[in-house]
Structure 1
Amino acid sequence: MREHIQNIQVGFKCPDCGQDVSTYFMQEQVCTVRCGGCNRAYTLMKPTIGDEILLDWEQEALYHKLRAERSEQDNHNMSALIIKVIELLTWRDQGDGQTRAIQTVKEWLAASGKPQTLLELFHQSTSIKREN
């Protein structure tokens, strides 16, 4: 990316007297200028230039790309978890499929950084089942 444009000239016609008014923006973001014809004061903000807009768009695009990739990975991980849980609930080879399915979900929640409240909910539900 090229360096940001520092010096920007802004010009317009005074709506009161029709005289040309112009100023340069160097480092400042806001500038006050007076019309030479009627002495009316104008406060102007530095306009955003193409390179600055492009930089903002590039950052925004990168953010959405990373978010989409993360979402896709989360969906893949969730699908793998669902398949594993279904397998554990339907394959009765060790007789503890439901317990192993709950444990698998708890491990996945802990590994994927999901909210602590879900982990607490699973902890409570397994504690209740043990008491009964």
Structure 2
Amino acid sequence: MGDKERGYAHRIDVRAGAEEVWRALTDTELLGRWCSPGAEIRARPGGLFRASVDRLTELEAHIDVFEPGRRLRLIYLKSVALPPADTVMVDDFMLEPVPGGTIVRLLGSGVPATPAWDTQYLRLRTGWQQAMTRLKVVVEAEA
């Protein structure tokens, strides 16, 4: 029997087109401005995402879904910096063009619901919430 899982959901409404938001998600320089200093991405199907969203723990992820202007899904790789887990952690960014801008949703899943993961879960959830706010600011300033 595997661990129970938990996740998080964040949404921002950005006053810019989906292309501008996509660029901020997939351009290493912009990613470093809103996600975390030193963040890297090899923006392509099967590529790599590396960042320290909580500013403490560097995470690496495989880019599982890469649909320009629409969707970017990250599957996190196991890390010695994290507690053991029998789950697959995923972050799924979805962009929805709307009149006057873009709705950006981030759905995170697969975080173990165990005491060993309580602190890391809080850091991930809060870190992404803060990063999404910075994403909005960076993209709107560039638009």
TM-score tier (shorter): under 0.3
Structure ranking higher in helix proportion: 1
Q: TM-score, normalised by structure 2?
A: 0.23
Structure ranking higher in strand proportion: 2
| Bigger Rg over Cα | 1
Q: TM-score, normalised by structure 1?
A: 0.25
